[in-house]
């Protein structure tokens, strides 16, 4: 095995130095064998959330990155590390493998490719694992190769003027890219650009006061017990609405008309999320789009419960609260470390992105996927 020795162009670090100066969000270094990597810039893009990496800041990650029970890391993860090499451990701190060899590779844990025979594991997306979602796309080469969208230019007009066939568009939009040129790839490139981007905290800040006001209005004509029944009924109804919207509106793929207007609308509504799934400012619904989609449900709730306006209002408020939970869950599944239950949900949702976008439509729950037969199968276990 070839051993990489310290280079004259790269510094050496001691473990004490790493623990003291490079174990925080501002400067996060990790080691693997003798090598030291600066992964500070990768923290926001880690599919498992930055907290998971920060637990190992200033420490060796050999065991965790090669642990099949924790998570199977693809070649992309190792490529990110290779690009982040900043130095080596000092000779005094060089780890000694149990077999007595002096190399500092991976303590006997082999790096296995999850892209066998040079072909992607999942042909529909061109990806193998969740880590692939965060590998920076070579924007220039990607555009030259696929002739789809140049991420250096506003995307909307490229889709509108592209005259793409439905078959070509669906194939490209479901092969995720990762933009690292700034906060988000430009969509409109003009005064409409801010309307297309929404920080996750805007959702609870904007809509929870509205929900509270609606509940107060309903309390003028309903008892607390009836409000609670109506409110939780609204949440339960939302889970079905969430599934139906995701499956039959956002993924209208097979039934999408093969024309420019339909393709552009599809891209704006959900295609952009599958094209750039790790864009943190286009993960939750912009308020303007939410109002457009919520208005028919307000009218529907008060049509179904027209005999009692207060009941319709309480049910609607419960549904909107369910939506808020959905949007926050969706954001955290992509970008945050979550409790064990949600870790499984995270794996499930990211599988929808990198493996099979035609199934797995539940975001906050798998329940309706199980009912309607669209549940994603467990991912194959791969040994490290």
Q: Is 251 annotated as a binding residue?
A: yes
Closest listed residue to residue 329, CA positions, set 316, 341, 315: 341
Q: Is 22 annotated as a binding residue?
A: no
Tell me how far apart the alpha carbons of residues 279 and 187 are, in angstroms, rounded to a whole number.
Answer: 12
Tell me how far apart the alpha carbons of residues 16 and 23 are, in angstroms, rounded to a whole number.
Answer: 10
Give 96's contacts (C-beta < 8 A, 6+ positions apart): 102
Question: How many angstroms separate the most distant Cα atoms in the chain?
Answer: 81
Q: Is 335 annotated as a binding residue?
A: no
Q: Is 274 annotated as a binding residue?
A: yes
The encoded tokens of residue 220 equal 């003028």
Q: Which long-range contacts (CB under 8 A, 24 or more apart) does 308-311 make?
A: 308/221, 309/221, 310/217, 310/218, 310/220, 310/221, 310/222, 311/218, 311/222, 311/226, 311/230
Closest listed residue to residue 74, CA positions, set 127, 14, 136: 127
Tell me how far apart the alpha carbons of residues 361 and 243 are, in angstroms, rounded to a whole number.
Answer: 6
What is the Cα Rg of the chain in Å?
Answer: 24
Tell me how far apart the alpha carbons of residues 178 and 185 are, in angstroms, rounded to a whole number.
Answer: 9
Q: Is 352 annotated as a binding residue?
A: yes
Closest listed residue to residue 41, CA positions, set 88, 87, 80: 80
Q: Is 73 annotated as a binding residue?
A: yes
Q: Is 174 annotated as a binding residue?
A: no
Q: Is 146 annotated as a binding residue?
A: no
Binding residues for heme, as ranges, are: 46, 73
Binding residues for Zn(2+), as ranges, are: 246, 251, 270, 273-274, 330, 334, 349, 352-353
Binding residues, as ranges, are: 46, 73, 246, 251, 270, 273-274, 330, 334, 349, 352-353
């Amino acid at each position: 095995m070839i051993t990489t020795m310290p280079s004259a162009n790269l510094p050496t670090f001691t473990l004490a130095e790493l623990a003291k100066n490079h174990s925080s969000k501002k400067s996060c270094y990790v080691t693997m064998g003798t090598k030291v990597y600066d992964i500070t810039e990768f923290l926001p893009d880690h599919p498992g959330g930055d907290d998971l990496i920060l637990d190992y800041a200033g420490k060796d990650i050999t065991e965790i990155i090669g642990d099949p029970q924790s998570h199977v890391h693809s070649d992309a993860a190792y490529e990110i590390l290779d690009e982040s090499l900043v130095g080596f451990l000092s000779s005094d701190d060089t780890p000694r493998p149990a077999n007595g060899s002096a190399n500092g590779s991976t303590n006997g844990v082999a790096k296995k490719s999850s892209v066998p025979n040079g072909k992607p594991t999942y042909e529909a997306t061109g990806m193998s694992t969740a880590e692939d979602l965060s590998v920076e796309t070579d924007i220039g080469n990607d555009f030259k190769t696929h002739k789809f969208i140049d991420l250096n230019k506003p995307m909307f007009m490229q889709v509108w003027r592209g005259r793409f066939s439905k078959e070509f568009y669906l194939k490209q939009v479901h092969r995720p890219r990762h933009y690292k040129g700034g906060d988000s790839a430009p969509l409109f490139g003009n005064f409409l650009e801010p309307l297309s981007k929404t920080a996750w905290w805007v959702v609870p800040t904007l809509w929870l006061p509205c929900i509270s006001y609606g509940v107060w209005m309903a309390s003028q004509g309903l008892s607390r017990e009836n409000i609670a029944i109506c409110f939780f009924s609204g949440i339960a109804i939302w889970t079905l609405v969430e599934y139906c919207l995701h499956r039959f509106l956002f993924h209208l793929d097979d039934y999408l008309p093969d024309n420019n207007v339909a393709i552009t609308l599809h891209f704006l509504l959900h295609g952009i999320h599958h094209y750039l799934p790790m864009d943190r400012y286009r993960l939750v619904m912009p308020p303007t789009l939410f109002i457009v989609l919520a208005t028919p449900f307000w009218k529907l709730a008060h049509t179904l419960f027209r005999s009692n306006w207060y009941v319709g209002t309480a049910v609607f408020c419960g549904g909107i609260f369910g939506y808020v939970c959905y949007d926050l869950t969706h954001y955290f599944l992509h970008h945050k470390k979550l409790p064990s239950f949600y870790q499984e949900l995270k794996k499930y949702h990211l599988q929808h992105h990198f493996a099979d976008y035609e199934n797995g439509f539940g975001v906050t729950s798998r329940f309706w996927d199980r009912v309607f037969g669209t549940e994603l199968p467990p991912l194959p276990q791969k040994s490290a």
